[in-house]
Structure 1
Amino acid sequence: MPETPNYYSVKVNLRDEANMVYTMVSAIIDPVEIKSVKYEGVSCSSPLSLLPVRSTFQDFYNRMQRVIYKGEQQKNITKSLQELIKTKFGSESFLEEILHYMDHNLTDRLDFVFSEIHKRTAGNSEPKVEIHFELIDPNDMTKTTVDEEEIAKKEAPPVTPVPQASGFLIPADKQIVQFKFQLSPVNGIPLVELKAGDNVYIRLVPGDAVTDSIINTLELKEESGAIKQIPAKIVNISNNKNFSEVVIKINEQIYGKIIEEENSVKIKTTDSNAGAANIMNSVASPTAKITKAKQNPNLSADESFHLMPYIIMLVVLAIGMMTIFVIL
């Protein structure tokens, strides 16, 4: 019997210290059939969840599953990441590209590819990329060197309260979008210190029909693929020990809701010296153009009103001149 061709095992760590996003991606690729055999990805808030890239594929896969099982992933970013890598690793052209890079040991090109994946899911930043790839026997796909079950036994069970509803209800006729806070580790304000009425910066997270539609309508996607930051107002915030539930309003029609599991993160806020953000007429307000358009007819009416006395005087003068002409 002919031997089964070897598979490529790829493991990637992406460390985004600025936004405190730490991502693991791993994949098994068949270089002969040019197809992905198995892949997974997850983003979390702690670098302690990352494994060395020289661990086995199964070690990586088990760790990612454990992060998800324990609820330690950043849900919105992980959702976007998993949707993107599903598309990428299902694309023959993408697989041909990275197979070419691995065959020729072009690690800098691979770094760029996975850095771009990070930017599209977690923000326009420059993460530190760690990557390791190798050819393995298909029978070694399930080989492990890290005992996740033993690690789980040694760890004390986390006391994580179940998120409780804050009681704030977004009106049923409003649109609800997916978003993430724009972080500012140096000058930002901790999330737990923010309150209703504070203005913050956010970025919409593509992935659902409503959010995608608003991103396209408001032209928030830059040529690089990054989503522009926009101002929003906190309308309700409920802080617990380990998480915060936040409802924001972009304008009168668009709201967002998020459960932020790392409520110690520092959020970028609007400049207090410049006053409150103009939420209604910001880039995020589809009503801004309509409001501006409605102002023009009002200006024309006002101008006509101010001209009326002069028009009446001209009419009276014309009538007087006609009367004198008839008498003569």
Structure 2
Amino acid sequence: MLPHTGFYSKKQNNHMKEKRNLYLHLTDKCNLFCLHCYCGDRIVKKRQMTWDFLKNAVRIFADEFDIITLTGGEAVLSPIFYQVIELLNEKGLCARLDTNGQDLDKFFKKITPKMVSELRFSVDGSCPGINDVIRRKTGSFEKCIANIKKAVKLGFFVEMTATVTKQNYKDMAKIIDLAKQLKVSVMNFHLATVNGNSRYNDVELNPKLWLDVVEKQIKPQKDIVIKYPPRFSVKKLPSDYCGCVGYKNNRLSVFADGQAFNCALYFDTNRNSREINENRIVFTESPNETDDFRGINQKHRGACQRFYEITTFSKKGLGKDKIIPLCIYYKKTLNGR
């Protein structure tokens, strides 16, 4: 059981009606090096979870989370990946996979739809000319699309995820059309933030431009669920907005080096709130990410301080335009069924 942190209670979480998500970064190794990847230098270091570390992490966290996502880097490149699937199945845990869709031949031979709850493919363009530039590998689009088709045909629950950047923001409507053509169940969007690889690449979208994308391109569609992050609100907070992810504490990402974070904006820092040390979870000393979570005024819970640290847009400029940044994990769901 996780110790009580002082900014979360199960009663609060149930009130928000959100599942708790554990992300296990099995390996930092990846066969792509995307412009916007939030893991940044971690990908270069290529650290991997050992089997003993993984079993210990599952022992510590399994009872506290509803969904376990295997991710990376690229999770299927982990030498223990298939052992992990077996372990989670034995324990009756709900497992899903985040993948770039590049190396799944062995996966499709060994894994059935009953063994994973969901496959989530990353696709950053409706064509090779956009996707492959962002993913920085020629042929990555065609390989991913072929594996999405195969996954759908085999009966997996499939979701597509696109990260919106300066390089692809005009392509969102076409990406939704592609997802429908491929018969995936969910189209999920992220908006690129300035951390990880994004620090070295010009990917951050102007808030006004993103609001325009949402208004003109992201619309309810028949036969597909669409999820997107509003990320910004004009003049006032949305009525259903519950604040920073740090207050909810309903997600945790664990890396091979033992660091554990609530929020992806901190992945390229050493401000992790927890770490696995000698078979137990340890809460780190301040300064860490929770300092920012706790510092948010309860009456005005917009984005955390980390957003203002990394964005290229000034707090003064956003205020002048009456634009309020929101937590990156706050999302809207458009169900067109």
TM category, shorter: under 0.3
TM-score for the superposition, normalised by structure 2:
0.22
**Structure whose CA Rg is larger:** 1
TM-score for the superposition, normalised by structure 1:
0.22
Greater strand share, structure number: 1
